[in-house]
Structure 1
Amino acid sequence: MEGYEHLSITLPKKSNEKELFLEMTPGKWHKLDCNSYGLLGKIEQKKDQETNISYYLYDTDGNMRSTMMACPDMKLTNKFVVGESKTINYTSDTPIIIFYPKGYEIKLKVKNQQNEEVPIKLP
């Protein structure tokens, strides 16, 4: 897909996969003021009609939502601004493919049913 990068990962096999989830969080680094920011956009599951392969697509126009506080010093700092996360069932059976716009990143976390992060080395 033109203008997009992709990530393809195969999760390590686990005996308790039915109790685990993969959280995908899109984000981008920006120089910003003291306000809180969030990316607009969404990760959606799609299917390639020719190959019948499922993948995830993060689509955004780059706009952000923010608070509107007065920032007394107007100092800009480099912040990783995140968008809405997508959580899917953990599976080591098939690769997980994620497309996202160039200049953005996708951060991955494995979580359990209590929404606690599980330390698993991801590729």
Structure 2
Amino acid sequence: MKAKLAVIAGLLCISSAGVLANTPNLSEIAPYPIAEEGQIRHAIFLPAAENEDNLKVELSMGKTMKVDCNRHMMGGTLESRDLKGWGYNYFVLTDVRQPASTMMACPDNTLRETFVEINNANRFERYNSKLPIVVFTPKDVEVRYRIWTAGDTFQQAEIK
């Protein structure tokens, strides 16, 4: 039984190494800067998709925290910077502020773990499987994303 588990564990390691090997290195694509001290560089590599013009990528940044029943939010500034000489852009999140919340009385005072978004750091980007979306954040900030899909059909607006 232990031998079977060892074989399965070995295969899992090999398969996960293969997935990591298929992700290109950013330096192979363009000379993106390295993360400064206290920062981390996130890269989102999107798979090729049919009709990428009908897709958008929504970026969301924040922290997973224990919170009460109130609505919690954080502030920050997300700026787009040009990769000089390449025509590409990347994003830098700065000025992340401490969480704020509404002040409702919570009847049971229980805490739950949830993702608290940084306001002003959410944005929609064009879906482009040829270039990664690169985001620099403080080390304790997560970058999440989801894909939005539009249909091919436009509706006609009424003339009034």
TM-score between both structures, scaled by the size of structure 2: 0.62
Instruction: State the distance in 2 between where 1:62 and 1:47 align.
Output: 25
Instruction: State the distance in 1 between where 2:109 and 2:45 align.
Output: 43
Deviations 1:47-79 (A, max 9, x none): 244776421122233322321101233222222
The answer for the alignment partner of 1:80 in structure 2 is 115
CA contact (8 A) 1:37 1:81 kept: yes
* Identity within the alignment, %: 32
More helix by share: 2
Instruction: State the distance in 1 between where 2:86 and 2:129 align.
Output: 20
Instruction: State the distance in 2 between where 1:19 and 1:105 align.
Output: 26
More strand by share: 1
Instruction: State the distance in 1 between where 2:87 and 2:80 align.
Output: 12
1:92 partnered with 2:129: yes
Residue 82 of structure 1: how far off its partner (Å): 1.2
Q: Flag the 1:65–1:50 CA change in 2: closer, same or farther, 3 A.
A: farther
1:105 partnered with 2:152: no
The answer for the alignment partner of 1:57 in structure 2 is 92
Deviations 1:67-103 (A, max 9, x none): 1101233222222111231111111122211111111
Instruction: State the distance in 1 between where 2:111 and 2:49 align.
Output: 43
Deviations 1:13-58 (A, max 9, x none): 1221111101110010112221111121133211244776421122
What RMSD, in angstroms, separates the aligned Cα atoms of the two structures?
2.1
Flag the structure with more relative contact order, 1 or 2, with Cα contacts below 8 A and sequence separation at least 6: 1
The amino acid of 2:94's aligned partner reads: D
**Structure 1: 5+ residue stretches without partners:** 115-123
The amino acid of 1:100's aligned partner reads: T
Count of aligned positions? 114
**Structure 2: 5+ residue stretches without partners:** 1-35, 152-160
Q: Which structure would you say has the larger Rg?
A: 2
Aligned mate of 2:49, from 2, 10, 14? 14
CA contact (8 A) 2:61 2:144 kept: yes
**Residue 11 of structure 1: SS of its match in structure 2?**
coil
The amino acid of 2:129's aligned partner reads: S
1:3 partnered with 2:27: no
Instruction: State the distance in 2 between where 1:6 and 1:70 align.
Output: 38
The answer for the alignment partner of 1:121 in structure 2 is none
